[in-house]
Amino acid sequence: MNRLRIGVIGLGMVGSEQVATIARSVALGELVAVSDFDLDRAHAIAEGLPGDVRVARSAEELIASDDVDAVAIASSAASHLSLVLACIEHRKPVFCEKPLALTGADCELIIDAEIAAGRRFVQVGFMRRFDTAFVELKAAVETGDLGEIVALQYVHRAADVPEYFTSAMHTTEAVVHEVDTTRWLADDEIAEVSVTGTGGRSGLDEWLDPQFFSFRTERGAMVYAEVFLRAGYGYEIGCDVVGRQGVARLTNAPVTAVSLDFRTSGVREKDFTVRFGDAYRRELTAWAEDALRGIVTGPNAWDGYAAAAATDACIEALRTGSPTVVKMRERPALYGQGPSRAT
Ligand SMILES: NC(=O)c1ccc[n+]([C@@H]2O[C@H](COP(=O)([O-])OP(=O)(O)OC[C@H]3O[C@@H](n4cnc5c(N)ncnc54)[C@H](O)[C@@H]3O)[C@@H](O)[C@H]2O)c1
C-alpha cells in the first residue's frame, strides 16, 4: 500500500476543514469517504472536494468498508469512544480529534482495546505538538538552559463559541490542550488541579467565563491557564515556560502590524482554524505516514487518557470548588517510557 485511503467522520467546524486538508495537502493520503449525521451537508461537502469522495450511510459503515484503510474522527466528543473502539476492532489506524473520550474511564476502554489487540492504532489530535512555534518552544526547553522549570503560564482565548457550550466545556474542549502541552513541554504529569471562574458562583450550572486553572505537576512546577472562550476581540494563544535561569515565551502577536498616526494596528487570527492551519496539515501528514507503516509516533491513546484523567479532576474541582488530585493508572508497557504516575 503506498497511499492511505482515508474516511472522515464528522463534518462540522473541524471536520469540514480536515477533509479539505486531507484532500489537498496530505500527499500520501487519498480521501475516499465521509460521514455525518447531516447527509445533505455531507453530500454538499463531498461534491466540493477534489476526487471521487463517497458519502457513507453511517460512521459504522465507513469504518467497516473495505475501501477505507484508515479513519479520521472529527465528530462531537461524545461519539469518540464507540467510533474509536470500532476502528480498533477493524484493525484500522485512527486519528481522533481531542478529547479522545469524555472521561478517563472511557479512555481506559480504548487503552484496554489496544492492549488486547497488541498494538497502537490511535493518534489523538493534540495539534500543538506539530505547531512550529510550540515545537520551537519545546526545543528551547530541551536545551536545559532555562534551568529547573518552575511555572508554565498560558492564555487561551477565543472570540466566541457555539451557544451549546457549557461551563464544563472549558475543560473538555479547551484546557485539555494546556494539559497535553504541559505534559509534552515539561515531560511531567499533572498531580493536582484547582479551577475558578468569573460570571457566576463556582459550579457546573452557571456559565463561568473566563475560567482560571491552576495545576501542580508531579515535580512541583505550577501551571496557570486563563481560558476565556467569549473574549470577543479574536483568538489568542500564549505560553510562558518559566525556568530558574530564564523564560521561553510563545506569543500570538499579530503577524502584520501597520503603524500610522502614532498608532500600531494589526490583523489578528480569526480562530483556531487559521492559527493552527499548518499544524493540522503537519499532524495529518505525520499520521498518514505512520499509518502506512503500521506505527503511531504522535500523541497516542495514553496521552489522551492522561489528559482525560486531568480534565476529570478539573470538572470535579469546578463542581466542588476544592483542589482535586488527579487519579491515574499505571502506564502500560505498550505506551513505552514517559511521564507516568499511579495514584
Ligand atoms: N484540535 C482542535 O484545535 C479542535 C478545535 C475545535 C474542536 N476540536 C474537536 O473536534 C471535534 C469536533 O468539533 P466541532 O467543533 O467540529 O463540532 P461540530 O459540532 O461543529 O461538528 C460535529 C459534527 O459531527 C457530526 N457527528 C456527531 N456524531 C456523529 C456520528 N456518530 N456519525 C457521524 N457524524 C457525527 C455532527 O453531525 C456534526 O456535523 C470535537 O471533538 C472537538 O473537541 C478540535
- Ligand 1: residue of 9, 18, 75, 123 to mutate (most ligand atoms within 8 A of CB) is 75
Cβ-in-10-Å burial (0-12, 13-18, 19+) of 240 comes to middle
Query: Which residues share a beta bridge with 313?
Result: none
Q: Is pLDDT above 90 for 2?
A: no
**What pLDDT is recorded for position 60?**
98
For ligand 1, is residue 172 a contact (CB within 6 Å)? Answer: no
Atom 38 of ligand 1, residue of closest alpha carbon: 12
**190-197/211-217 β-pairing:** antiparallel
Average pLDDT over residues 17-37: 96
Average pLDDT over residues 248-275: 86
What is the rounded distance in angstroms from the CA atom of residue 185 to the CA atom of residue 241? 9
pLDDT, residue 268, reads 78
100 φ, ψ (degrees, to nearest 5) = -55, -45
For the Cβ of 36 lying below 6 angstroms from any atom of ligand 1, the answer is yes
How many angstroms does the Cα of residue 80 sit away from the middle of ligand 1? Answer: 9
- Does residue 177 have its Cβ closer than 6 Å to ligand 1? no
Is the CB of residue 12 less than 8 Å from the CB of residue 79?
Answer: no
326 within ligand 1 shell (Cβ under 6 A): no
pLDDT at 204: 80
- Give the domains, in start order, of the chain with CATH numbers: 4-127+277-300 (3.40.50.720), 129-275+305-328 (3.30.360.10)
Q: What is the rounded CA–CA span in Å between residue 291 and residue 307? A: 23
229 ligand 1 Cβ < 6 A? no
Q: Is 123 in the pocket of ligand 1 (CB under 6 A)?
A: no
Rounded to the nearest integer, the mean pLDDT of the chain is: 94
> Is residue 30 over pLDDT 60?
yes
The DSSP-derived string for 15-36 is HHHHHHHHHHH-TTEEEEEEE-
Encode pLDDT of 97-110 as tens digits: 999 999 999 999 99
Task: Say whether pLDDT at 341 is over 60.
Answer: no
Ligand 1 centroid from CA 59, angstroms? 13
Q: Among residues of the chain, what percentage have pLDDT more than 70?
A: 97
98 lines ligand 1 (CB under 6 A): yes
What confidence score (pLDDT) does residue 109 get?
Answer: 98
Residues 22 and 91 sit within 8 Å (Cβ to Cβ): no
Pocket flag, ligand 1, residue 299 (CB < 6 Å): no
User: In which band, very low, low, confident or very high, does the pLDDT at 338 lie, cut at 50, 70 and 90?
Assistant: low
Mean pLDDT of 73-78: 97
pLDDT in tens, 277-298: 999 999 999 999 999 999 999 9
Beta bridge partners of 117: none
Percentage of the chain surpassing pLDDT 90? 87
DSSP secondary structure letter of residue 330 = P
Residue nearest to atom 18 of ligand 1 (CA): 12
Render pLDDT for 180-219 as a digit per residue (tens, 0 to 9).
999 999 999 999 999 999 887 666 888 999 999 999 999 9
Ligand 1 atom 41: residue of nearest CA: 77
Expressed in angstroms and rounded, the spacing between residue 79 Cα and the centre of ligand 1 is: 9
User: For 320-337, what is the mean pLDDT?
Assistant: 94
Cβ-proximal residues to 3 (8 Å cutoff; 6+ apart), any chain: 28, 29, 30, 292
pLDDT digits (tens, 9 = 90+) for 224-258: 999 999 999 889 999 999 999 999 999 888 778 88
Which are the contacts of 262, defined by CB distance < 8 A and separation ≥ 6?
none
Given this model, what pLDDT does residue 343 score? 41
